[in-house]
Structures are given as structure tokens and as C-alpha cells.
């Protein structure tokens, strides 16, 4: 009886499934990149979000009860109903119902930012049907103290995008903030969106290492870690830690291989330098404009590789600042001068040995871990 039942089930499978498979293959041209998936609900999004595939400024209107949103900045915050409106390529308005919440650590503090960063939480039902692609949640970095600092931090992300694809992509926006009750004056400010953590990891063919899993700087991919340390030195940022996962995400592509560190959140860097940015006192520097190398020592081969990589992209980095029209001219000159100093250091053997090699050696002996500024 079992033998006949097994034979019956096999025949049913061949009758039902093989024609379906053949039809699917015949209906898709051989040169397309689409994959047939009979269960799209369970499909993981492996492709890049098109939201970040263009340099065009994204303009939209965000309508919410700002009185409630801006007061709700504590540890136990809630999402607030909101409407996001933008124009599609045909010029028609598209309205999206979503939820928003104040986010961030330091910038959520009203004594630091009058307008905190925001988390945009889209319904999964509307995912992929609008300009925001398949993202469920997106971080929006807002004006805090003014447009200038938004542009400065946005460009810091773009610099690291130039250096490596193992980085968070960003999209510059112009947002019109409209109070649903009409009690708050409408503002139109610069902001930028940051690629979702998991999307960034998938784009780089990996997954995010949970924060609960302890990983020290010495246990990460050596070349990638050296690149991060040099970039943080380049922009004058000391507000990060691998072991405490402070402003650092780790990508794992293989459980047997060292993870790749990816930096984010650069508002406490010297290249951004907002008024509230003060370095941790235990580091012994008095200004974020004062560079301090925070990496461990590397081999001469790694040092040479990293320096070559940064030199290779120097012209592109400078062009990024020169071509950013909204940027204040005085700041543009200041930023390029700050980068000049970095390139002079890494390309002068004596200066490099003093400011990087010797400091890295000292870091190995007694490293000051930054857990996160309070």
C-alpha cells in the first residue's frame, strides 16, 4: 500500500510542478536578472535600494503633530502617525501614511538639538510601491542646529562611500515640516536618509553581527579595520568603539572569517564640528579638530595599501566638496584645508611615524575605549 501511495504522490508532483517550472523558464528572457520565486512573501531583498542610486535631492513634505513628536524624546518613546508626500516622475503627488519617532542618542537631547533626528517607519504593505523602495525603517538626519551641519555630515558619509562600498549610503533631502494642527511654523530644511543596517549588510553579501556578541578591534578584518581607523583620523573622529559597537556596525560574511567594521554617525568629528561636539576627556585632546589616531599598529604592507587607497581617491574627495553647491564657501575652504593636513601627514614619513605609527603602538599598550559620550 505504501509503495502505491508513494508512486501516486510522485506522479502528482511531476504532473503539477514540471509544467509550471517549464512555463516559468520560457516566460523569462535568458538575459534578464530576475529570479522566479513562487513564494515572494519569504523572499529576502538582496538587491540595492534604488532610493540611494541617485545624487538627486529628494524633496518631500512630512506632516505630523510636531508638538507631540518634539516633546516625546525620552527613553520610552512612541511612534506618531504622519503623512509623507512627494511628487513622482510624472509630477503627481504621492501620499504615504507612516509612523515617525524621535531617534538618536545625543541629538535626541533637547539641550543639544532643537529638532531631533527622526525614524521613518513605513508599512510593509506600501513597501516597494514608492520612491523609498523596500525599506521598512529609515533614519532621517535632520537639521538639529541648522542646515550647515546636515550638509557637513552628509558629505562625510559620501567621502567614505568614495573610499569603499562597505559603507552606509545616504540620500540628501529637502524636507518641508508641516504641523498637522497648524500650531508650528512650517520649515523647509535639508536632511538626509541613511541606508538601513540590514540592507547595507545584504548589499555587501553579509549580515549584521549582533551587538551582544563581543568583538574587539583586533578580531576584525585587518585591512578593513585599518581603512576605518584612517578614515576616522581623516575626518577627526574619535567618537567610536568596535568592542562597544559605538557608531560601528560589523558585517559577517562567513562565521569562520573576521567581520568587517562599518562606521556611521559622524557629527562629533572635526570635519562636521557642531558647537556641542567635545571629545572624551580621557583621550587627552581638547577639540574635535585635533586629530588622534585610534587604531592599532599595522604592518608596513597594510599601511602602504591604505595610504595608496586614500591617495587614489583624493581628487574625487576634493571634487565632492567643490561641487556641493549648497555648501558655505568659507566652510568649503576650511574642510579642504583640513583634508590637506591629513594628506600631508600620511605622505610625509616623519610626520606619519610620529602621529600614526607611534600612537598606534601606544594604543596597543594602553588603549582608551570610548563607550559612548554621555
| Residue that is last in its domain, among 150, 165, 198 | 198
Last residue of a domain, one of 198, 228, 257: 198
pLDDT at residue 20, as a whole number: 34
In the sheet where 260-263 sits, what is the strand order? 207-208, 248-252, 260-263
Does 300 fall in a domain?
A: yes
Does some domain include residue 5? no
Residue 264 lies inside a defined structural domain of this protein: yes
81, 184: one domain: yes
**pLDDT at residue 10, rounded to an integer:** 44
Does residue 95 register a pLDDT over 90?
Answer: yes
To the question of pTM greater than 0.75 for the whole model, the response is yes
Q: CA-CA distance, 127 to 324, in Å (whole number)?
A: 31
Confidence of residue 372 (pLDDT cuts 50, 70, 90): low
**Cα dihedral 10→12→17→18 (10° resolution):** 70
Q: Is the pLDDT of residue 146 over 80?
A: yes
Mean pLDDT of 251-279: 96
Q: Are 252 and 197 in contact (CB under 8 A)?
A: no
- pLDDT on residue 126: 63
Give how many domains the chain has, as a whole number: 2
Q: Is the pLDDT of residue 223 over 50?
A: yes
Task: Flag whether pLDDT at 28 surpasses 80.
Answer: no
Would you state the pLDDT for residue 258?
Answer: 97
The angle that helices 329-346 and 222-235 make with each other, rounded to 10 degrees, is 130
Question: Mean pLDDT across the stretch 38-51?
Answer: 50
Find the DSSP H helices in 175-313.
Answer: 197-203, 222-235, 300-312
Q: Please report which confidence band the pLDDT of residue 134 belongs to, taking 50, 70 and 90 as the band edges.
A: confident
Q: What is the mean pLDDT of residues 135-145?
A: 94
Domain that holds residue 232: 206-365
Q: pLDDT > 90: what percent of the chain? A: 77
113 lies in a domain? yes
284 and 149 in a single domain? The answer is no
Pick the more confident residue, 153 or 47.
153
Q: Is the pLDDT of residue 42 over 90?
A: no
In terms of C-beta density within 10 A (0-12 exposed, 13-18 middle, 19 or more buried), how is residue 374 classed?
Answer: exposed
Give me the mean pLDDT over the 224-241 stretch. 97
Do residues 169 and 216 share a domain? no
Domain contains 77: yes
Same domain, 166 and 233: no
pLDDT of residue 46: 44
Indicate whether 360 and 244 sit together in one domain.
yes
Structural domain includes residue 298: yes
Q: Judge whether residue 13 has pLDDT over 50.
A: no
Task: Specify the residue for cell string 556641542.
Answer: 276
- The reply to whether 193 and 226 lie within a common domain is no
Same structural domain, 350 and 245: yes
Q: Is there a single domain that holds both residue 133 and residue 181?
A: yes
Question: Is residue 97 situated within a structural domain?
Answer: yes
pLDDT at position 326 is 95
What's the whole-number average pLDDT of the chain? 87
Residues 336-360: pLDDT tens digits? 999 999 999 999 999 999 999 999 9
Reply yes or no on whether the pLDDT at 11 is more than 60: no
Phi, psi of 290 (to 5 degrees): -95, 110
Q: What are phi and psi of 176, to 5 degrees?
A: -100, 115
What average pLDDT does the segment 195-213 reach?
Answer: 96
Q: Determine contact, residues 246/253, Cβ cutoff 8 Å.
A: no
Sort strands 248-252 and 260-263 into parallel, antiparallel or unpaired: antiparallel
The burial of 192, by beta-carbon neighbours within 10 Å (0-12 exposed, 13-18 middle, 19 or more buried), is given as: buried
Residue 322 scores a pLDDT above 80: yes
How many residues are there in the chain? 374
Please report which confidence band the pLDDT of residue 370 belongs to, taking 50, 70 and 90 as the band edges: confident
Residue 128 confidence (pLDDT): 60
Mapped to the 3 state alphabet, what secondary structure does 8-62 carry? HHHHHHHHHHHHHHHHHHHHCCCCCCCCCCCCHHHCCCCCCCHHHCCCCCEEEEE
Q: Are residues 78 and 225 in the same domain?
A: no
Q: Which of 15, 11, 35 is nearest to 25 (CA)?
A: 35
Residue 33 in any domain: the answer is no
What is the per-residue DSSP string for 189-214? EEEEEE--HHHHHHHTT-EEPPTTS-
How many Å apart are CA 120 and CA 131, to the nearest integer?
Answer: 14
Question: Between 286 and 27, where is the model more confident?
Answer: 286
- Going from the C-alpha of 148 to that of each of 138, 257, 333, the distances in angstroms are 22, 40, 14
**Do residue 115 and residue 141 come from a single domain?**
yes
Instruction: Based on the fold, state whether residues 248 and 320 are members of the same structural domain.
Output: yes
Whether residue 227 contacts residue 234, with contact meaning beta carbons closer than 8 Å, is answered with no
Between 141 and 31, whose confidence is greater? 141
Using 50, 70 and 90 to split pLDDT, how confident is the model at 47?
low
> Domain check: are 189 and 212 in the same one?
no
Domain final residue pick, 198, 226, 246: 198
Please give the pLDDT value at position 6: 47
Looking at per-residue pLDDT, the higher value among 106 and 291 belongs to 291
Amino acid at each position: 500500500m505504501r509503495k502505491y501511495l508513494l508512486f501516486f504522490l510522485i506522479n502528482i508532483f511531476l504532473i503539477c510542478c514540471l509544467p509550471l517550472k517549464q512555463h516559468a523558464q520560457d516566460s523569462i528572457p535568458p538575459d534578464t536578472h530576475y529570479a522566479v520565486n513562487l513564494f515572494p512573501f519569504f523572499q529576502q531583498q538582496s538587491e540595492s535600494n534604488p532610493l540611494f542610486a541617485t545624487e538627486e535631492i529628494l524633496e518631500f513634505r512630512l506632516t505630523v503633530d510636531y508638538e507631540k513628536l518634539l516633546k516625546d524624546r525620552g527613553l520610552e518613546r512612541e511612534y506618531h502617525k504622519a503623512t509623507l508626500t512627494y511628487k513622482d516622475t510624472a509630477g503627481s503627488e504621492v501620499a504615504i501614511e507612516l509612523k515617525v519617532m524621535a531617534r538618536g542618542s545625543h541629538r535626541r537631547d533637547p539641550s543639544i538639538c532643537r529638532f531631533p533626528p527622526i525614524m521613518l517607519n513605513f508599512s510593509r504593505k506600501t513597501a516597494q510601491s514608492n520612491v523609498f523602495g523596500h525599506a521598512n525603517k529609515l533614519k532621517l538626519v535632520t537639521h538639529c542646529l541648522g542646515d550647515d551641519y546636515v550638509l557637513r555630515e552628509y558629505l562625510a558619509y559620501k567621502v567614505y562611500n568614495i573610499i569603499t562600498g562597505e559603507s552606509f549610503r545616504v540620500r540628501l533631502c529637502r524636507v518641508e515640516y508641516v504641523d498637522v494642527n497648524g500650531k508650528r511654523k512650517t520649515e523647509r530644511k535639508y536632511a538626509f536618509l541613511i541606508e538601513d543596517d540590514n540592507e547595507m549588510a545584504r548589499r555587501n553579501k553579509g549580515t549584521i553581527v549582533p551587538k551582544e556578541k563581543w568583538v574587539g578591534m583586533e578580531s576584525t578584518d585587518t585591512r578593513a579595520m585599518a581603512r576605518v581607523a584612517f578614515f576616522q583620523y581623516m575626518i577627526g573622529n574619535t567618537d567610536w568603539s568596535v568592542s562597544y559597537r559605538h557608531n560601528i556596525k560589523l558585517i559577517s560574511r562567513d562565521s569562520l572569517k573576521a567581520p568587517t567594521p562599518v562606521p556611521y554617525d559622524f557629527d562629533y568629528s572635526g570635519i562636521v564640528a557642531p558647537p556641542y561636539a567635545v571629545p572624551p576627556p580621557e583621550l587627552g585632546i581638547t577639540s574635535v579638530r585635533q586629530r588622534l589616531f585610534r587604531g592599532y599598529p599595522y604592518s608596513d604592507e597594510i599601511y602602504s595599501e591604505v595610504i595608496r587607497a586614500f591617495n587614489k581617491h583624493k581628487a574625487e574627495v576634493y571634487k565632492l566638496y567643490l561641487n556641493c553647491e549648497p555648501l558655505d564657501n568659507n566652510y568649503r575652504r576650511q574642510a579642504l584645508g583640513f583634508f590637506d593636513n591629513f594628506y600631508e601627514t600620511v605622505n610625509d614619513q616623519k610626520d606619519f611615524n610620529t602621529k600614526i605609527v607611534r600612537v598606534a603602538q601606544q594604543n596597543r599598550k594602553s588603549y582608551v575605549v570610548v563607550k559612548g559620550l554621555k
